[in-house]
Chain A
Amino acid sequence: MSALFYSFVCFFLILTALVASEIKDILSAVISLSVFSVLLAIAFVALQAPDVALTQAVISSGLITSLFLVAYSQTQKEGRRENDEE
């Protein structure tokens, strides 16, 4: 049971990390990073580190995601700039 659970968490951690680093769309990468940190928080709880898990869940999946989204909407996109020039 335990090994199955850990293998599930590990597999999806790798998957979300790969999606976050490889995908073209920044918005999808940010959401994928959020899912990654939720999974990491679950792993921390299973490894009996509830303090770290709480920090991970709040900071990484809540605050960091919102800050990334604000930064995303603040900056100019490459595609948008080309459209403006046309």
Chain B
Amino acid sequence: MSKSCFLRIVTFLLCLALGWQFWKGILALEPTQIIIGPAAHYIESAAEETGATNIVAAILFDYRALDTLGEASVIYTSVCGIAMLFAKSKFKISSTGLSFIVKRGVSFIIPFLLLYAAGIVLMGHISPGGGFQGGAVFATATILFCIVYGSGFEAVMIKPKTKELIESSGALMFVLIGFVGLWTGAGFLANIAAGYPKGEVGRFLSGGSIPLLNIAVGMKVSAGLSTIFYSMIKLLEFEVTKHPGVKNK
């Protein structure tokens, strides 16, 4: 009891201290005059070298593309692990979802949600966003499907096998785009140097391989995250429907 009390006090003080530090950091914030190191190079020549207006996307998918590949493989591995842990059997029993009003309301929202997600993915090299964020919005749409219409509906609309295919093909696409650079002798995941067209800076068709990599990561993340959610909620509904009214000892 005293140990849990001690832990609570420690957590309380930690929260207060971190919040205080955040506040002090904001107070110390001032417009930076001098930028040194790699940041100066990135800000100065990112648009010229990669054709992408969004410097964050340029760094993520051009200068540090290998790191992004590593991150994406972390997600891939975790999705594989969770799908393996929760893969019990192939049942399609599902709840019926929420009420008629909610279903109707969500059916109006879903197209805009999908459009927004596609916009985030496709415009990743121009505006804030990118494959990861857009893929997560796609996954949120499928989670809405799961909750509102029931997971059986979701499994019929987007089969788990299809999700698997999308995720794996996204990962494969990423690596193949990287191999083009290796083929032309510019190095793995090279962008403009590998012969991808730069396009006009600021236009939709620009940035060389960055939009393609965004699409690949978006496919991977959306399928992966919705697979995680589906495999977790599947087990839940299985246990509820399998033992109706049976008291477990």
Interface size on A, residues (CB 8 A): 27
Residues of B within 8 A of A13 (CB): 19, 22
Report if A84 contacts B (CB, 8 A).
yes
Contact (Cβ within 8 A) A66 B26: no
> Contact: B136 with A58, CB < 8 Å?
yes
> Bound state CA distance, A58 and B141, in angstroms?
11
Select A63's contact among B136, B147, B248, beta carbons within 8 Å.
B136
Contacts of A84 in B (CB 8 A): 247-248
Q: Is A28 an interface residue, CB under 8 A from the partner? A: no
Partner among B23, B136, B147, B228 whose Cβ is within 8 Å of the Cβ of A10: B23
Q: How far is the CA of A22 from the CA of B15 in the complex (A)?
A: 10
B54 to A, closest residue via Cβ: A51
Query: Min CB distance, B118 to chain A, in Å?
Result: 14
Interface hub of A3, A47, A74, A84 (most chain B Cβ within 10 A): A74
Query: Which residue of chain A has the shortest Cβ distance to B18 in the bound complex?
Result: A17
A70 contacts partner chain B, Cβ-Cβ < 8 Å: yes
The answer to whether A14 touches B235, judged by C-beta atoms less than 8 angstroms apart, is no
Q: Is the CB of A21 within 8 A of B11?
A: yes
CB distance from B141 to the nearest CB of A (A): 10
Q: Is A67 an interface residue (CB 8 A)?
A: yes
Query: Chain B 135-158, CB within 8 Å of chain A: the 1/0 string?
Result: 011011001000100000000000
Is A63 touching B225 in the complex (CB atoms < 8 A)?
yes
Query: A26 to chain B: closest CB distance in Å?
Result: 15
Interface status of B8 (Cβ within 8 A of chain A): yes
Known contacts A21-B15, A51-B128, A51-B129; A70/B232 CB under 8 A: yes
State the CA gap A13–B228 with chains docked (Å): 29
State whether A70 and B16 are in contact (beta carbons under 8 Å apart), knowing that A21-B11, A51-B133, A63-B225 are contacts in the complex: no
Residues of A within 8 A of B120 (CB): 54
Report the nearest A residue to B146, measured CB to CB: A66
A22 touches B132 (CB 8 A): no
A-side contacts of B139, CB under 8 Å: 63
A74 touches B235 (CB 8 A): yes
B132 neighbours in A (Cβ, 8 Å): 55
Indicate whether B130 reaches chain A with its CB closer than 8 angstroms.
Answer: yes
A-B contacts, 9 of them at CB < 8 A, read A14-B16, A17-B15, A54-B120, A55-B133, A63-B229, A66-B143, A67-B232, A74-B232, A84-B247
Known: A17-B15, A22-B11. 17 other contacts (CB 8 A): A10-B19, A10-B22, A21-B15, A50-B128, A51-B56, A51-B133, A53-B128, A58-B140, A62-B143, A63-B139, A63-B225, A63-B229, A66-B143, A70-B233, A70-B236, A74-B232, A84-B247
Q: Which 5 A-B pairs have the closest CB atoms?
A: A14-B19, A50-B128, A58-B136, A17-B15, A21-B11
